[in-house]
Structure 1
Amino acid sequence: MKKVILISLGIFVFLLLALVSLPFIFKDKIAERIDREISNSINAQVYFDINKISLSIFKRFPHISATVEELGIIGNPPFQNDTLIHMDKLQVDFNLKSVIFDDYPTLTGVHLDGGSVYIKVLEDGTANYDITYPAEEEAAESNFKMAIDIIRVNDVDLIYDDRQLKYFMALAKVKAEGQGEFTLSQYELPVKAEAFIADITYEGVNYLRNKSFKGETLMNIDMDQMKFGFGEGDFALNDFFFDFGGYIALPEEGVEFDINFGGKDNSFRSILSLVPGMYTESFGSLRTSGTMDFQGYFKGLYSDNTFPSFDIGLNINDGFFQYPDLPRPVSDVNMDVRIKNETANLDNTSVQIPVFNLNFGSNPISGRFILENLVNYDMEGALKGKLNLEELTSIFPIEGMTLKGLLDINATAKGRYDSVAKVIPAIDAQMLLSNGFVRTSEYPSPIEKLNIRATVQNKSGRMNDFLLDLSQFGFELEDEAISGRLKVTDFSLLNWDGAVKGAVDLGKMLAIFPMENIIMEGLVRADLLTKGSYKDVEEGRYNRLDTRGSMEVSKFYFTSSDLPQGVRIHEAKADFSPERINLTKFDSRVGQSPVQATGFLSNYLNFVLKENEVLKGQLSLNSSRFDVNEWMSESSDSEELTVLELPKNIDFSMSVAANEVIYDNMNLKEVKGTLNLKDGVLTFRDAGMRALGGQISLNGTYDPRDLTAPKFDLGVNLANLSIAQAFETLNTVKAFAPVAQHLTGNFNSNLSFSGILGQDMMPILSSLNAKGLLRVAEAAYQNSQLLQGITSLTKLNDTNTIQFRNVSIPIEIKNGIMEVKPFDVRLWDYQANIQGSTGFDGTINYLINMQVPAGRFGAQANALLASISGTEANASTLIPVAISLGGNYNNPRISLAGGNSIENLLATALQSRVRSEKENIEQQVTQQFKAAEDSIKKELHLTSTLGHPKSKTEHFCEFLLTFVQK
């Protein structure tokens, strides 16, 4: 017996050890397989650490589970700045038998634990989830076998932003689990899910916000018919419980619905939990009573031409609620709502609210509303009630706020709205707010004498009989008062006559109505009169419009979490006339930088009141010292830029003048220029500045009308710039002209750039074209590895320093490679010709052809001259020396292009000189160099298109574009 126990225990221990060791045995195999499947299937940037893949046999025995930590997918352009998926943990389960014995593993489960999913669809339908290889481009077919029977999601955030459908959904802390035979064409799927619905908005209308959702149901899946059925289930939004049954199918012509839903064990308390602001921690102590019934259906085909029929009903009887620590309730809540459409045409929707009444404390409010359809808009409605605002705070808890005043509303409407027949419902509505009073604990002085009187009337139902009369509006705050009026007549012409006069202290208003992380103060004074007709606006009769007056702002200050630098306006004045708004004075400080401005806007009424109109204007900006660095946050270096879209309906000119601009490590003096924005294209004219010891001038355009391929065209003139300062300041110089680190002196240049920008606002190197001339008046070049290498190779003396005078260097940039055309220069005392190229990665490839007198080579040349009988060569004979420079500037490869040693080169050259073949040698060397250079350029082009770090010049261009946008 003891022996049997020991044997059994031994077998158990062996099996246990085998189970523990299996993950280690197969870890490399599974990790390599996961990596290969990702590479074969996903055409996007996938990030994860293969060393952070762990395996376990115990998480879901008898399956073996692989867990990957911190895995994510970043989309392809134009979504390269968006993370499609980030998972804190991803667990995939495999059939253990398939891992050990089969050629290909069988996937059995997927578990997502923590992370986020961001789905984005642009207006043109381009989606960031389209990351699989097209059929003709697939790297390899996946050999994973699918036998998934469980999918589990835990604590995942989901954002779905569909700009084509104008649909936005944000869900937080999504939890879901489904178990079923996913590989079958028909199966049952028990599903549990819960989430926090942060926002659901469709076509600008918000439908749900800040609601908790839970649901559990049994789904019936038919993949052959693409039909998804829902059995009995329990669902809840906050405390509102409902059932949901039927099916959703996906035929070719649209989406088919047959859904029934209804309230489940609900009371008036349930519907209150959906009211914004009600579902708080104190909701549990709320006293309620009353009944509620909710039910409806949604049935039919949704397509481009049809809409499902529906019938949604909500009924509330004898509703009551009261917060326990407040003296007054809301009682006698009765409401009957029915929204119905029995056809496939959405225009036939009717809205019926025959009953709506409630009591706010002792103040009754009642109403009704009926809308027959969305074609003729036959309607009838009424709303009547009086509300004591002081009683309102005894019903709803408004901490730290005191309200007073009487609000009286009495409105009726009946009739039809028909814009063609110029018919609107007959309306008789009055609203009166008298002796309004608002005080908060944040500011001791109240807003008082708040009075509003408004009337809307149309007794005949004709548009020309319409009247909106806001005859009184005003309030006082300490010593400041503001008042206004507005009258609108004739609904078709929309004649208006209004005025506003007074002053508002913004600091006091913010104290009464605080906004988080915002500081604002200042005084705004206005005295404006406006009179006109929208009909005159439509027909361009602006001389009939009369808007005039003035507005002043003084001692204004604003700062927020998004604008921590702060903006201060010491004084600003603007005059209004029908033709234009004149900014006569604007004295401000943005951050620590003083800014003054003057200018005007014209066509502003047409721009505001009518579509497709162009706003025109001019602005002059002046600053004694503008510090750009304080507007570049610490995170800005890591934040990806996106293409700046420019408005096409603005025709604006702005002149800029600044005595000094601080940007990064550059101190720019006498900055000036003119920026023009028209038809969505930004033009730079006569932009200039003193910097780097010289003068910089810019002219060019930025054209983002095609957002997928924005263009730029820039002309740059550089005069007397310090070579040393340019190298220290500009990364572009460091990349394209590393030789500048050993040069002293100044240079001039005329360059023209053009090309296409990527979605990160960086030039696409494969599209870059640049051409120009670099002029060096006088410079010294010394103490470099290149010079030391040339000295060592040629045995020439005095080659550690070169003096340049009046050198012109033609350069051209193509595909991220700077090509230097052949140019003549004196190197030391020798005539030379230089040509070659520098890649953006720092690689160099140059040929130097020099003419060196034979006597400069010393004894070795004299010996060779004496050994060649009958020659006319002597110490003054010019020897062609070709030097090839490769590698990179800090680690150059220097060699003789015409021989493997200086001795062989001298012997060959002297003998060729006798035969007059000097020119042939130079031609052969140059041809060989160009052939080798073409090969190197191809390699450089491949690497240059992969991108490069931003240079200071590029950052400066980004600043100019951002400045214009702001």
Structure 2
Amino acid sequence: MKKAILISLAIFVFLLVALVSLPFIFKDKIAERIDREISNTINAQVYFDINKISLSIFKRFPHISATVEELGIIGNPPFQNDTLVHMDKLQIDFNLRSILFDEYPTLTGVHLDGGTVYVKVLEDGRANYDITYPSEEETPESNFKMAVDIISINDVAVVYDDRQLKYFMALGNIQAEGKGNFTLNQYDLPIKADALIAEITYEGINYLRNKQFKGETLMHIDMEQMKFSFGKGDFALNDFLFDFGGYIAMPEEGIEFDLSFGGRDNSFKSILSLVPGMYTDSFASLRTSGTMDFSGVFKGLYNETAFPSFDIGLQISEGFFQYPELPRPVSDVNVDIRIQNQTDNLDNTSIQIPVFNLNFGSNPLSGHFTLANLVSYDMDGALKGKLNLEEMTSIFPIEGMTLKGLLDINATAKGRYDSVSQLIPAIDAQLLLANGYVKSKEYPSPIENLNVSATIQNKTGKMNDFLVDLSRFGFDLEDENILGRLRISDFSLLNWDGAIKGAVDLGKLLAIFPMENIIMEGIIRADLFTKGSYKDVEEGRYNRLDTRGNIEVSKFYFTSSDLPQGIRIHDSKADFSPERINLIQFDARVGQSPVQATGYLSNYLNFALKDNEILKGQLSLNSSKFDVNEWMSESSNSEELTVLELPKNIDFSMSVAANEVIYDNMNLKEVKGTMNLKEGVLTFRDAGMRALGGQISLNGTYDPRDLSEPKFDFGLNLANLSIAQAFENLNTVKAFAPIAQHLTGNFNSNLNFSGILGQDMMPVLSSLSAKGLLKVAEAAFQNSQLLQGITSLTRLNDTNTLQFRNVTIPIEIKNGILEVRPFDVRLWDYQANVQGSTGFDGTINYLVNMQVPAGKFGAQANTLLANISGTEANASTLIPVAISLGGNYSNPRISLAGGNSIENLLATALQSRVRNEKENLEQQVTQQFKAAEDSIKKELQLKAEMVQDSVKREAERRVSDTKERVTEEAKNVLKGLIRPKPAKPDTTRKNDN
């Protein structure tokens, strides 16, 4: 017996050890197989760390589980900056028998724990999920066998951004599980899921935001017919329960829907949970009663020409709710809504709301509305009610705020809107707010005498009988008050007559109605009158318009998280006329920089009221000291400098005069000039400044009409600029004239300069074109590796310092290559000729032809002279020395052109003089240099084109990113649930196909 126990125990231990050992034995096989399958199937960047793959037999016995941490997929251009998928932890299960005995493993389960999925479809239909190889390409066939019977998802966020369909969806905290035999053509799939619906928007209309979804159903999948059927299931949005059934199919001609849905075991409280602001921590304690019924169908084909029919209804009866800590309820809520379309044309949608009424405390509100279709817009509606604002604070929790006043609403509308026939519905609407009062605990004084009286009427249904009469609006706040009126008549002509007069203290308003992270104060005084007709604006009859008055702003200050530098306006005054707005006075401080300005705007009425009109104007701006860095620094939380798109409908001229401007590490003095903005192009005229030790003048243009390739074209006049300061502050000088870092002295230049700008507003060096003369009156060149190399090579002992005097250098930049045409100069008192080029990548390629007296080479020259009989050469005989400079400036390659050593060069040169071949020798060396230079230029040009292509792709990405801002804001609704892509993906194992 004891022996049997020991044998059994030994077998158990052996099996246990085998089970523990199996993952280690087959880890490399599984990891290698995963890597190979990724390479064979995914055409994108896949990142994961082979060292973060773990295997276990116990997680889902008898399957073996492989767990990968920090796995992701980054798309190909133009999605190279988007992370399609990032998984915190991915577990995939394999059939153990297939690992042991089959050639290829069988996949049985997928488990995703933490991660994000970001799907993006561009306007042209390109999608970042299109990462499989095209069918026409021959790729290795995948041999993975699929027998998946479980898929589980935990804590995953999904963003779907389809710009072609104008559909956006953001989901967070997704938990889901599905089980089934996914290898069959038809199978049942039980699904359980819940998620936060952060946002769902279609064609600019938001349908759901910040709602919690839960659901459980049985799906039947038919992969042959691409049909997905839903059995009866339980679903919930917040506390709103509903069922959902039918199917979705994908035939070739579109998407086919046959769905029905309806409320389930719901009360009035259920629908309240969907009202924004109601579903809070205190929702559970809300007292409610009343019934609710909801149902609908959605059936038909969806494609470019058809839309499914639908019929959706919502009924609420005897609804009631009351916050437990407040004395008054909302009661007698009765609502009947039906939205219907029995055709495949969305324009035939009708809306019926025959019943709508409720009581806010003792204040009833009732109405009805009918819309026949979305073509002729036949409608019939009414809304009537009286609200005591003081009672509202006893119905809804409004902390720290006291409200008073009576709001009376009585409106009816009936008829058709038809712009061609000049018809609008007959309207009779009145809104009256009397004795309004608002007081915040944050400020001791209230807003009083808040009165609004408005009437909208059109008794006949004709556009010329339309009238909007805002006969009065205004309020008092301590010693300031605002009073105004506005009357608009004739919907086709849009005649207006209005006025506003008074003052308001913005600091007091902000104290009563605080805004997060904003500080604002100051007084605005207005006395404006305006009267006219939009028809006169269209016809340009400005003499019939009458707009006059003025606005004054004093002691104004504004700062926010987006504008931490702050803006302070000491005094500002503008007056108005039909022709123009005149800025008479403007004395301000933007950040720490004082600014004064005067100017005007004209054609402003046309610009405001009509499309494709040009706003014209002029501004004179003065500052004693303007610090640009304050608006660019990281401490200001501002973004990096980027390409600025200029409006094409503004014709604006601005003259600037500043005693001092601080930009980056440069201090600019006496900055002046005129800038003209027209048709989206900024032109500089007579601009100038003292900088870099001298004077800079420029004329030219900045043209960002193509945001992916903004252009500039300048004419520069540089007078007496410091070479050292130019090198220190100008990237272009650093790139094309690195020699300047070892030069002292000043230079002058007339230069025409053009190219494209990168997205950081810096010139793209490979795109530059320039032509002009560089003049150096006097400069010193010393302590350079270049000089040390020439000294070592030529053995001339006077080459460690170089002086330039009255040198004129013709230069030209083309395709990112600085070409220095041959010019004569004295180097170390030797006559020399220099030519060559510098590439945008820092490479140098120069030829220096010098005439050096033979005696300067010492004994070696004398020996050679003595050995050459019959020569008239002597110690003063000029020897042509050709020096080739290559590599880059910090690591130059220096060699002799025409000889591999100074001795050979001297022998060749002396013998050539005897044979009168000195000129032939120089020509030969120059021709060899030119041939080599042409080859180098071709390589640089190809490199320049590649760089510019890369810059343009980056620019297109940046331009696209400007369209991403709405998307990013929507992502933020997830409140941190959307995980950012890794700053630097682990590329220990990376697939770049």
Q: How far apart are the structure 2 equivalents of 1:479 and 1:941?
A: 71
Q: How far apart are the structure 1 equivalents of 2:938 and 2:328?
A: 83
Where do 1:5-404 residues align within 5 Å?
A: 5-6=5-6, 9-10=9-10, 12-17=12-17, 19-21=19-21, 51-61=51-61, 65-72=65-72, 82-93=82-93, 109-125=109-125, 127-129=127-129, 148-404=148-404
AA of the residue aligned to 1:423: L
Per-residue displacement from partner, 1:666-722 (whole Å, max 9, x unpaired)?
A: 111122232222222233333322211122233333333334443333443332221
Assess if the C-alpha contact under 8 Å between 2:711 and 2:756 holds in 1.
Answer: yes
Assess if the C-alpha contact under 8 Å between 1:765 and 1:945 holds in 2.
Answer: no
Deviation at 1:775, TM superposition (A): 2.4
AA of the residue aligned to 2:788: Q
Q: How far apart are the structure 2 equivalents of 1:887 and 1:140?
A: 44
Deviation at 1:211, TM superposition (A): 1.2
Per-residue displacement from partner, 1:893-946 (whole Å, max 9, x unpaired)?
A: 222222222112211221222222223333333333344444444555566567
Q: Does 1:533 align with 2:509?
A: no
Deviation at 1:816, TM superposition (A): 3.8
Residues 183 and 768 (structure 1), Cα distance of their counterparts in 2 relative to 1, 3 Å cut: farther
Q: How far apart are the structure 2 equivalents of 1:404 and 1:32?
A: 74
Per-residue displacement from partner, 1:795-820 (whole Å, max 9, x unpaired)?
A: 11211001112223333444444333
Assess if the C-alpha contact under 8 Å between 2:632 and 2:640 holds in 1.
Answer: no
Assess if the C-alpha contact under 8 Å between 1:677 and 1:683 holds in 2.
Answer: yes
Moved more, 354-363 or 49-58: 49-58
Assess if the C-alpha contact under 8 Å between 2:71 and 2:89 holds in 1.
Answer: yes
**Structural RMSD (CA):** 3.2
Q: How far apart are the structure 2 equivalents of 1:927 and 1:137?
A: 49
Q: Does 1:784 align with 2:788?
A: no
Deviation at 1:386, TM superposition (A): 1.3
| Secondary structure of the structure 1 residue equivalent to 2:353 | strand
Q: How far apart are the structure 1 equivalents of 2:934 and 2:24?
A: 51
Q: Which residue of 2 aligns with 1:853?
A: 853
Q: How far apart are the structure 1 equivalents of 2:759 and 2:178?
A: 39
| Secondary structure of the structure 2 residue equivalent to 1:443 | coil
Per-residue displacement from partner, 1:255-309 (whole Å, max 9, x unpaired)?
A: 2221111111111000000111111100000011111000001111222222211
Moved more, 408-417 or 46-55: 46-55
Deviation at 1:350, TM superposition (A): 1.3
| Secondary structure of the structure 1 residue equivalent to 2:316 | strand
Q: Which residue of 2 aligns with 1:686?
A: 686
Per-residue displacement from partner, 1:174-227 (whole Å, max 9, x unpaired)?
A: 333344444544433333332222222223322112211122222233333333
Q: Which residue of 1 aligns with 2:419?
A: 419
Residues 363 and 46 (structure 1), Cα distance of their counterparts in 2 relative to 1, 3 Å cut: same
Moved more, 531-540 or 764-773: 764-773
Per-residue displacement from partner, 1:34-59 (whole Å, max 9, x unpaired)?
A: 66666676666665555545555554
Q: How far apart are the structure 2 equivalents of 1:774 and 1:132?
A: 56
AA of the residue aligned to 2:229: G
Assess if the C-alpha contact under 8 Å between 1:243 and 1:263 holds in 2.
Answer: yes
Moved more, 3-12 or 320-329: 3-12
Q: How far apart are the structure 2 equivalents of 1:942 and 1:260?
A: 62
| Secondary structure of the structure 2 residue equivalent to 1:645 | coil
Residues 91 and 614 (structure 1), Cα distance of their counterparts in 2 relative to 1, 3 Å cut: farther
Q: How far apart are the structure 1 equivalents of 2:915 and 2:852?
A: 18
Assess if the C-alpha contact under 8 Å between 1:339 and 1:350 holds in 2.
Answer: yes
Residues 904 and 36 (structure 1), Cα distance of their counterparts in 2 relative to 1, 3 Å cut: farther
Q: Which residue of 2 aligns with 1:954?
A: none
Q: Which residue of 2 aligns with 1:608?
A: 608
Q: Which residue of 1 aligns with 2:712?
A: 712
Residues 59 and 635 (structure 1), Cα distance of their counterparts in 2 relative to 1, 3 Å cut: farther
Moved more, 497-506 or 764-773: 764-773
Deviation at 1:788, TM superposition (A): 1.4
Moved more, 710-719 or 15-24: 15-24
Q: Which residue of 1 aligns with 2:826?
A: 826
Q: Which residue of 1 aligns with 2:980?
A: none
AA of the residue aligned to 1:781: F
Per-residue displacement from partner, 1:840-861 (whole Å, max 9, x unpaired)?
A: 4433333222221111111111
Q: How far apart are the structure 1 equivalents of 2:573 and 2:237?
A: 52
Where do 1:649-688 residues align within 5 Å?
A: 649-688=649-688
Q: Which residue of 1 aligns with 2:737?
A: 737
Q: How far apart are the structure 1 equivalents of 2:151 and 2:207?
A: 29
Assess if the C-alpha contact under 8 Å between 1:315 and 1:335 holds in 2.
Answer: yes
Residues 493 and 773 (structure 1), Cα distance of their counterparts in 2 relative to 1, 3 Å cut: same
Q: Does 1:456 align with 2:456?
A: yes
Q: How far apart are the structure 1 equivalents of 2:924 and 2:26?
A: 61
Q: How far apart are the structure 1 equivalents of 2:376 and 2:289?
A: 40
Q: How far apart are the structure 2 equivalents of 1:822 and 1:6?
A: 98
Q: How far apart are the structure 2 equivalents of 1:135 and 1:853?
A: 74
Q: Which residue of 2 aligns with 1:472?
A: 472
AA of the residue aligned to 2:465: D
Assess if the C-alpha contact under 8 Å between 2:565 and 2:636 holds in 1.
Answer: no
Deviation at 1:397, TM superposition (A): 0.8
Runs of 5+ consecutive residues of structure 1 not aligned to the other structure: 952-957
Deviation at 1:318, TM superposition (A): 0.8
Assess if the C-alpha contact under 8 Å between 2:766 and 2:947 holds in 1.
Answer: no
Q: How far apart are the structure 1 equivalents of 2:209 and 2:301?
A: 27
Q: Which residue of 2 aligns with 1:520?
A: 520
AA of the residue aligned to 1:572: S
Per-residue displacement from partner, 1:74-120 (whole Å, max 9, x unpaired)?
A: 55666565554444444555556666776766655554433434444
Assess if the C-alpha contact under 8 Å between 1:765 and 1:947 holds in 2.
Answer: no
Deviation at 1:428, TM superposition (A): 1.9
Q: Does 1:559 align with 2:589?
A: no
AA of the residue aligned to 2:169: M
Moved more, 905-914 or 885-894: 885-894
Q: Which residue of 1 aligns with 2:991?
A: none
Q: How far apart are the structure 2 equivalents of 1:91 and 1:275?
A: 39
Question: What TM-score do the two structures reach when normalised by structure 2?
Answer: 0.89
Q: How far apart are the structure 1 equivalents of 2:95 and 2:836?
A: 61
Q: How far apart are the structure 1 equivalents of 2:845 and 2:33?
A: 43
Assess if the C-alpha contact under 8 Å between 2:476 and 2:482 holds in 1.
Answer: yes
AA of the residue aligned to 1:465: D
Q: How far apart are the structure 2 equivalents of 1:373 and 1:637?
A: 50
Moved more, 741-750 or 157-166: 157-166
Moved more, 13-22 or 503-512: 13-22
Q: Does 1:884 align with 2:884?
A: yes
Residues 186 and 606 (structure 1), Cα distance of their counterparts in 2 relative to 1, 3 Å cut: farther
Q: Equivalent pairs: percent with the same residue?
A: 84
| Secondary structure of the structure 1 residue equivalent to 2:232 | strand
Per-residue displacement from partner, 1:617-667 (whole Å, max 9, x unpaired)?
A: 122221111111221232799966654333222222222221111122111
Per-residue displacement from partner, 1:460-516 (whole Å, max 9, x unpaired)?
A: 222222222111211111111101111111222221111111111111111111111
Q: How far apart are the structure 2 equivalents of 1:537 and 1:694?
A: 51
Q: How far apart are the structure 1 equivalents of 2:827 and 2:70?
A: 58
Assess if the C-alpha contact under 8 Å between 2:448 and 2:476 holds in 1.
Answer: yes
Residues 779 and 300 (structure 1), Cα distance of their counterparts in 2 relative to 1, 3 Å cut: same
Deviation at 1:751, TM superposition (A): 3.6
Residues 764 and 65 (structure 1), Cα distance of their counterparts in 2 relative to 1, 3 Å cut: farther
Moved more, 505-514 or 713-722: 713-722
Where do 1:741-890 residues align within 5 Å?
A: 741-757=741-757, 767-890=767-890
Question: What TM-score do the two structures reach when normalised by structure 1?
Answer: 0.92
AA of the residue aligned to 1:344: D
Deviation at 1:230, TM superposition (A): 2.1
Q: How far apart are the structure 1 equivalents of 2:143 and 2:806?
A: 68
Q: Which residue of 1 aligns with 2:497?
A: 497
Residues 268 and 75 (structure 1), Cα distance of their counterparts in 2 relative to 1, 3 Å cut: same
Q: How far apart are the structure 1 equivalents of 2:57 and 2:823?
A: 72
